[in-house]
Amino acid sequence: MSDGPASGEPVRVVVVFASRTGRTRRMAEALAEGAEATGAAVLLREAEAATHEDLRGCDALVVGSGVHMGGPEATLRAFLAETAPLWLKAELRGKLAAVFASAGDGAQGGAELTLVSMLSTLAEHGMLLVPMHPRLEGFAEGGMHWGPVAATQPHGGEPGPTEVQLVAARSHGRWVAECAARWRRGQSTVGSA
């Protein structure tokens, strides 16, 4: 695992997302706001612009995508596939990881599979997956246990991401950053494997 930031520095959260029409971007920004509220330093990166250096330097990586044909959008898939060189050197092992998605249909449109698909790559890296606990604010309207989800073109009701779905993204961002801070403190006392 790469060293990442020194223990006195703020926790670093990198949010990598793919968003063709700006809906997932709004979730990414809400997630970043939540993380920043804890004092974390947050880097927002579109999938096409994210670098391996960005990932090496983070404590927590959060990945989000619009749902395309039942799975992650193409540039996000490419971003994940191209992390293979980091896997070869176990450079992301032991960092925290989380996911989020926006889908036209929400739960029915492949959102869950999209979240799990992204998590699968992060698990392959040996990252520590941070799920969304049902007690986090906004979970009922904007969460799955895998992570925040917005239904952006529901058959009935308000198009998303709605304010409460953004609350869910914000609360998960906060939780991920808090977990990263706790993990960093723990590592400084017990050392890393």
Ligand X SMILES: Cc1cc2nc3c(=O)[nH]c(=O)nc-3n(C[C@H](O)[C@H](O)[C@H](O)COP(=O)(O)O)c2cc1C
- Binding residues for ligand X, rule: CB under 6 A, are 19-25, 66-70, 102-105, 109-110, 152-153
Is the CB of 72 or the CB of 94 nearer to ligand X? 72
Closest CA to 111 of 24, 21, 50: 24
Is the CB of 83 or the CB of 102 nearer to ligand X? 102
Locate 65 and state its tokens: 């995508």
Is the CB of 61 or the CB of 101 nearer to ligand X? 101
Q: Least distance from C-beta 193 to ligand X, angstroms? A: 37
Is the CB of 11 or the CB of 76 nearer to ligand X? 76
Question: Which residues of 52-108 form beta strands (DSSP E)?
Answer: 60-68, 71-72, 96-103
Q: Least distance from C-beta 20 to ligand X, angstroms? A: 4
Locate 1 and state its tokens: 């695992």
Q: Least distance from C-beta 127 to ligand X, angstroms? A: 23
Q: Least distance from C-beta 109 to ligand X, angstroms? A: 2
Q: Least distance from C-beta 18 to ligand X, angstroms? A: 7
Residue showing the smallest CB distance to ligand X in the complex:
109
* Residue 11 DSSP code: P
Is the CB of 24 or the CB of 171 nearer to ligand X? 24
- The contacts of residue 161 (CB under 8 Å, 6+ apart) are 23, 26, 27, 30, 102, 142, 150, 152, 169
Q: Exposed e or buried b for every residue in 124-134, given b needs 16+ CB within 10 A?
A: ebbbbebbbee
